[in-house]
Amino acid sequence: MVTSNTKQALAILRDFSNFQWYIIAIFLIVFYIYATEYKKQNWNGIAAGLTYLMLNTFAEIINSIFFFATQHAPLWAAPGGTAYLFLIGLNIELLFMFCLIGLATSKFLPEDKEKKFFGLNNRILVAGIFAVVSLVFEICLNLIGALTWDYWWWSASCPLVIFGYFSFFLIAYWVYDIEDINKKRKVLLLLAMITLIPLFLLIGLGII
């Protein structure tokens, strides 16, 4: 049986009638930030931003497939308060946030990728800190009903939630640190193919 949270999300899934003009403003802000980083030739930061975006989008695809397979509930859903619900757990506002979070957090990375703090590699430490921050943010969204969980094993007390964020940040920082620009482009292209091809194929088939 489909849960009530899931029914609310399905009711507005890819429904353009919820459109709000602030989406245009947010899009321009995101575009301006990336344009600024492009002008600075901050390829590492841009790569981290795009990597995080694609990894999170891939996770959203898996979340949607999970619901299709169970016909009960996704691991997480975003049932309301949005101008556009792109996937069952991903609205346009979160999508814009995911465009920026990898880029923004990369600003905290020391130039020396081997530098340690409290005995920990700085990449692992920064990834851990922002994974915890992301989890707290997600818990807050859950408490106000903006982001819902319907499984006891996927909740604030479940380590899988924070592990997902931690791994996304680590991979984004790994791509950030790739020195060979051609290799960096190839990794981004591969991530784009892994994400975008299944995304549009599954949407076209009506699976997600």
User: What global pTM score does this model have?
Assistant: 0.95
pLDDT tens sequence across 108-131: 999 999 898 888 999 999 999 999
- Domain boundaries of the chain, sorted by first residue: 4-205
Tens-place pLDDT, residues 3-33 = 999 999 999 999 999 999 999 999 999 999 9
Distance CA 10, CA 7 (A): 5
Find how far residue 28's CA is from the centre of its chain.
Answer: 19
Residue 76 exposed, middle or buried by CB count within 10 Å (0-12, 13-18, 19+): buried
